[in-house]
Amino acid sequence: MVINDDLRSFPFPFGDSQVYKYSNNATPLRPPNAIELTDKYIDEIRLKRELLTNHPERCYQSSSQTLDAQWEIVDLILHNLVGYYPDQFKLEKKDEQWIFTNLQTKENIAFTFGDRTTLEVEPLDFIGRHVQEDLLLMMQRDGDLFLDAGQLCFPANWSLFFNVGMTFKEIHSPIPGFQSESLDDRILQFLMRIEAGTPWGRKNWSLMAGNKLDTSLETFAEWGQARKQVTKENAGKLVHLRVEVQKLFRLPQSNGILFTIHSHMLPLERFIQHTPWLEQFYAILHELPAFISDYKGISLYRQQVLEYLVEEMKKR
Amino acid sequence: MMRRVKEELFFSKGKRKYLFCADSEGVEALYPLVRQAMEDKAPFDFHEIKHESDSFLDLWFSQQKMGTYLYLSGKWDFVHRLKNLAIEAGFTEYEVQIKVIGPIRKKVICCQCHGVNDVDEEMHITCMHCGISLEVSNHYSRRLEAYLGYSSIQSS
């Protein structure tokens, strides 16, 4: 079997489990890097910038009190970039005068750290244009977390425009079963206890009919149509496993939380090349409760995918 | 809470104090609750709001102590205005019960174009801005004071 780069860099989302259930599956993040670069970097950065230009209201939202926290995010991410990818990014600092060099995009950006007027866009919007991750900022007050700013180009069928300003529980209220056994409250309490210097990570998976990263709620009427086209014959190419690598960082000055989401997509036929993964994925999809399948938007073509997986298992 | 506006009010026992607030049409719906507060010997204020200004009401709400519980009853615009003033003054959604007399006019945001639609109680609408079919959801944004309308791929 040939394992190509797309498979090697793909984050395996299932652990040892044979069933899917909601849980707080976050683990301490090692290495504590907010950002990962893949070989799709340039393509995805280009796509992000196009979306931000064409759909600013959909892709960027912020409340005015978030600027300090936004600068903390710039600080954290720039230092991650130059620390983990020193041959691709450079940062020169003289007091508050910073010069950031992105060698892949061939850009040099000089600005005064902390001075919004020295950047063309807000700090969070600026730094988000140099990473593949979506970046969300939650602020903590009154014993709750509020989504107060975000740059979101690759949402899995939700709307930043609608959700900005909401509490953690309000945002997740449409998820069926998320309130049972107070799971929403337990995760909120966990998030509010995250400490600076101890970031956390988790993975979340779904299936997508089609290969678009920008599956916004706003364009669902277009990209959602592909769900009706899935057959047992085309499922391997048309259906993609989508994995979100999510990371959580406490921002020590503002006490906000940075939430980064890196979305990876792989056609099913690539993912199931490895037979143990095929068998595990079949088991999980087969046992997936209907309400979760509905929420993930899989129900319309789950049967076709299962039939495809059965055929593949027979061939092994 | 706003999504429960059509349900009947119930008496939330054991609160520190009760505020009953109604317009002329909403007064009657509060009488049974006032009676219960009296039977429980709980402190309460009863106000029929006529032409009181926002600043007066804001002051009144702001002076209430933690643990005060608020009932609002009246026409949609009235309870909507009072609820916003109460939330600004520090009440949480869990400390307010609302009874709407007459039609509900809620706002629904189109998931496709973000346009605002005024809706009575129908669950399915056509966005007046972009023409897409929407299903009205319970997902509510306090910032936008509106519910989210989802599009569907089933009918198109």
Reported as a single tens digit per residue, the pLDDT across B49-82 is 998 898 999 999 999 999 999 999 999 889 989 9
Over 80: is that where the pLDDT of A17 sits?
Answer: no
Specify whether A58 is catalytic. Answer: no
Provide the pLDDT for residue B154.
Answer: 73
Chain B residue numbers touching A227 (CB-CB < 8 A): 153
Chain A residue numbers touching B111 (CB-CB < 8 A): 159, 162, 217-218, 220
* Residue B134, helix vs strand vs coil: strand
Beta carbons within 8 Å of A117's beta carbon, 6+ residues apart: none
Average pLDDT rounded to a whole number, residues A153-181:
93
- Closest chain B residue by Cα to residue A171: B139
Q: Do A225 and B156 touch (CB under 8 A)?
A: yes
Mean of pLDDT over chain A: 95
Average pLDDT rounded to a whole number, residues A64-91:
97
Q: Do B148 and A173 touch (CB under 8 A)?
A: no
> CA–CA separation, A244 vs A137, rounded Å?
17
Provide the pLDDT for residue A232.
Answer: 97
Chain B residue numbers touching A220 (CB-CB < 8 A): 111-112, 150-151, 153
Q: Tell me: the pLDDT tens digits for A105-117?
A: 999 999 999 999 9
**CA nearest neighbour of A89 among A102, A76, A77, A80:** A102
Provide the pLDDT for residue A4.
Answer: 64
Q: Which of A270-284, B36-50, B84-98, B132-146 has the lowest mean pLDDT?
A: B84-98
User: A167 pairs with which residues across the strands?
Assistant: A146
Cα A52 to the chain's mean position, in Å?
16
Over 70: is that where the pLDDT of A26 sits?
Answer: yes
Q: Tell me: the pLDDT tens digits for A200-218?
A: 999 999 999 999 999 999 9
Average pLDDT rounded to a whole number, residues B132-156:
89
Q: Which of A142, A146, A162, A230 to mutate to test the interface with B (most CBs of B within 10 A)?
A: A162
Determine if the peptide bond prior to A31 is cis (ω within 30°).
yes
On whether the CB atoms of residues B138 and B108 are closer than 8 A, the answer is no
Catalytic residue among A186, A202, A302, A316: A202
Q: Do A221 and B132 touch (CB under 8 A)?
A: yes
Chain B residue numbers touching A163 (CB-CB < 8 A): 141
Pairing of strands B17-22, B68-74: parallel
> CA–CA separation, A269 vs A235, rounded Å?
8
On whether the CB atoms of residues B126 and B135 are closer than 8 A, the answer is no
Q: Tell me: the pLDDT tens digits for A262-276?
A: 999 999 999 999 999
Q: Do B114 and A174 touch (CB under 8 A)?
A: no
Average pLDDT rounded to a whole number, residues A58-76:
97
DSSP B65: P
- Closest chain A residue by Cα to residue B110: A218
Provide the pLDDT for residue A155.
Answer: 98
pTM of the predicted model, to two decimals?
A: 0.85
Average pLDDT rounded to a whole number, residues A226-233:
97
Prediction ipTM score: 0.91
Over 50: is that where the pLDDT of B3 sits?
Answer: no
> CA–CA separation, A45 vs A51, rounded Å?
10
A155/chain B closest Cα distance in angstroms: 13
Average pLDDT rounded to a whole number, residues A23-51:
95
**CA nearest neighbour of A302 among A277, A281, A316:** A281
> CA–CA separation, A184 vs A177, rounded Å?
9
Q: Do A162 and B148 touch (CB under 8 A)?
A: yes
Chain B residue numbers touching A295 (CB-CB < 8 A): none
Average pLDDT rounded to a whole number, residues A72-82:
98
Average pLDDT rounded to a whole number, residues A252-260:
98
Provide the pLDDT for residue B4.
Answer: 47
Over 80: is that where the pLDDT of A5 sits?
Answer: no
Chain B within 8 Å of A143 (Cβ-Cβ)? Answer: no
Provide the pLDDT for residue B77.
Answer: 87
Q: Directed axis angle between helix B76-88 and helix B54-62, to 10°?
A: 50
- The three-state (H, E, C) secondary structure of A165-202, written as one string: CCEHHHHHCCCCCCCHHHHHHHHHHHHHCCCCCCCEEE
Provide the pLDDT for residue B104.
Answer: 81
Provide the pLDDT for residue A15.
Answer: 83
Q: Do A220 and B111 touch (CB under 8 A)?
A: yes
- Closest chain B residue by Cα to residue A218: B112
Q: Nearest by CB to B137, from A163, A174, A221: name it.
A: A174
On whether the CB atoms of residues B124 and B113 are closer than 8 A, the answer is no
> CA–CA separation, B8 vs A12, rounded Å?
50
Provide the pLDDT for residue B5.
Answer: 54
| Range 200-229 of A in CB contact (< 8 A) with B | 217-221, 224-225, 227-228
A220/chain B closest Cα distance in angstroms: 7
Q: Do B148 and A218 touch (CB under 8 A)?
A: no
Q: Do A162 and B112 touch (CB under 8 A)?
A: no
Q: Do B138 and A227 touch (CB under 8 A)?
A: no
